[in-house]
A and B are shown apart, each in its own frame.
Chain A
Amino acid sequence: MYGFEALTFNIHGGYLEAIVRGHRSGLLTAADYNNLCQCETLDDIKMHLSATEYGPYLQNEPSPLHTTTIVEKCTLKLVDEYKHMLCQATEPLSTFLEYITYGHMIDNVVLIVTGTLHERDVQELLEKCHPLGMFDSIATLAVAQNMRELYRLVLVDTPLAPYFSECITSEDLDDMNIEIMRNTLYKAYLEDFYKFCQKLGGATAEIMSDLLAFEADRRAINITINSIGTELTRDDRRKLYSNFGLLYPYGHEELAACEDIDQVRAVMEKYPPYQTIFVRLSYGESQMLDKAFYEEEVKRLCLAFEQQFHYAVFFAYMRLREQEIRNLMWISECVAQNQKSRIHDSVVFTF
């Protein structure tokens, strides 16, 4: 019953919730970002980061640093924290924490399949995979020729198996099919996660519904914009939208019929939260859309911490860390390429 979580949540989740809130206090603040934005070299960045919680992870790196090393070590910190929480968690929190990583698993699968299609070496691809989305038989993905084999050989043993029912075909994999496969898998994953959260009920269901609905709507808008001008038909596009969220079902009908960005903007006028995002872009421009979406997402994720005794804080923390790692990557790239004027184009402050 909603409202009485406080009585029993702490039995299984109290310790981990307190730990994740402790981790949240270690997220980089606006002052840290300002310091980092004024760095001249990557070594300066390393020095500033050593004063934050990333210190122990970066201090042993040898001096000619690369941006990929910085990003890799910061991701390693996130993975360590995640694994620590996962091994302390009991059901249903452990299932919830695992759901958070399925998105990365899907990305890894698509990365390896695409790389294999373009004749890259499997070991090199494995190093580029996100560590949170690794599973045991991931290397055998390189062997598969079409989707049916992909499923039968590798994916049937992974948690992604139930998401494949909609997209098993015997066609050979090519770039277009792989993108459709990625989006279909992600759609099934989001719907599954949504149903799981609804089953948990209470504050978790309410807050996660909002966060997942925003994610689903954002993906719908991105799919629409990215498929304008490609050979994806309206019906195929419609099939890639998730079955929940603010835009379901009427917004999806209208989005499926859009042919350019101004039409998308006109559709979004009817939905106040997204209208405020589109209003910040001038006509015909879509580069700042990503940043606007990230800012809105960060705002909603920070709000998830306002309430106690629910699981959405774990999801929010993971997403905020990932945003922070994206920020660090952007800052490092700008500093390494000496383009400091563009630094503020894509850094989203958390608080």
Chain B
Amino acid sequence: MAGSSSWSRALMLISPYTFASIGIAISIGVSVLGAAWGIYITGSSLIGAAIKAPRITSKNLISVIFCEAVAIYGVIVAIILQTKLESVPESQIYAPESLRAGYAIFASGIIVGFANLFCGLCVGIIGSSCALSDAQNSTLFVKILVIEIFGSALGLFGVIVGIIMSSQATWPAKAA
């Protein structure tokens, strides 16, 4: 474990609990950032466009729901990740298996968080254009919705990879 450079020693001495907890925080925090960003982008355009064309409001809530789904993915993965965070005896904290588990949870959190951030942004921007074009011409709505569906698949990819990543995060057993 003794690395010659002080930076690598410093990194390896950070507790795996820290990495795991930060991963969980990023998974929920950044996902919610993405969802909120997407919702406000869609929402402001939707409100303005609905003044002249009130019929678009109920259909275009779908865009807001797609953005919201992104936040829900983040919550689900955060709950799953936090069940994987177990205590290990003090002698085992810096064992390679512990480090591996800590890093796996951290990576899983980052994957889910950032995938959901960009998915939320994507769906939000498309939702805004969808509301504006639906207000002008109602035949366009369904076609633009298809684009949004493809966009929201990005968040699902992140969730799948994140869950696979975290499922192999096994902490060393209690017996030293």
Contacts and interface: CB of A to CB of B under 8 A. Distances in A.
B136 A19 contact: no
A23 interface: yes
B118 to A, nearest CB: 11
Contacts of A15: 44-45, 47-48
B128 interface: yes
B134 to A, nearest CB: 11
Interface in B24-50: 37, 40-41, 44-49
Interface string A1-33: 000001100110011111101110110000000
A23 B125 CA distance: 21
A7 B41 CA distance: 8
Interface string A296-309: 00000000000010
Nearest to A24: B136
Nearest to B131: A18
A22 B52 contact: yes
A17 B41 contact: no
B141 to A, nearest CB: 15
A10 B135 contact: no
B48 A16 contact: yes
B45 A17 contact: yes
A6 B121 CA distance: 9
B135 A21 contact: yes
A6 B52 CA distance: 23
Contact of A14 (B37, B44, B52, B121): B44
B64 to A, nearest CB: 13
Contact of B132 (A7, A11, A18, A26): A18
B53 interface: yes
Contacts of B45: 10, 14-15, 17-18
B47 A18 contact: yes
Contact of A21 (B37, B40, B41, B136): B136
A25 B46 CA distance: 15
A21 B49 contact: yes
B129 A14 contact: no
A17 B49 CA distance: 9
Nearest to B37: A7
Interface string B124-168: 010011011001100000000000000000000000000000000
Interface string B35-76: 001001100111111011100000000000000000000000
Contact of A7 (B46, B51, B53, B121): B121
Contacts of B132: 17-18, 21, 308
A18 B49 CA distance: 5
B72 to A, nearest CB: 22
Contacts of B48: 14-19, 21-22
B135 A22 contact: yes
Nearest to B44: A14
Nearest to A16: B48
A106 to B, nearest CB: 31
A217 B1 CA distance: 73
Given A6-B41, A14-B45, A22 B128 contact: no
Contacts of A10: 40-41, 44-45, 128
Interface of B: 37, 40-41, 44-49, 51-53, 121, 125, 128-129, 131-132, 135-136
Identify the 9 closest CB pairs spanning chains A and B, nearest first: A18-B48, A22-B52, A14-B44, A18-B49, A15-B48, A19-B48, A6-B125, A18-B45, A10-B41
Given A16-B48, A17-B132, A18-B51, 16 more contacts: A6-B41, A6-B125, A7-B37, A10-B40, A15-B45, A17-B48, A18-B49, A19-B49, A21-B49, A21-B136, A22-B48, A22-B51, A22-B52, A22-B53, A26-B52, A308-B128
21 contacts: A6-B41, A6-B125, A7-B121, A11-B40, A11-B44, A14-B40, A14-B41, A14-B44, A14-B48, A15-B45, A17-B45, A18-B132, A19-B48, A21-B49, A21-B135, A21-B136, A22-B49, A22-B53, A23-B52, A25-B52, A25-B53
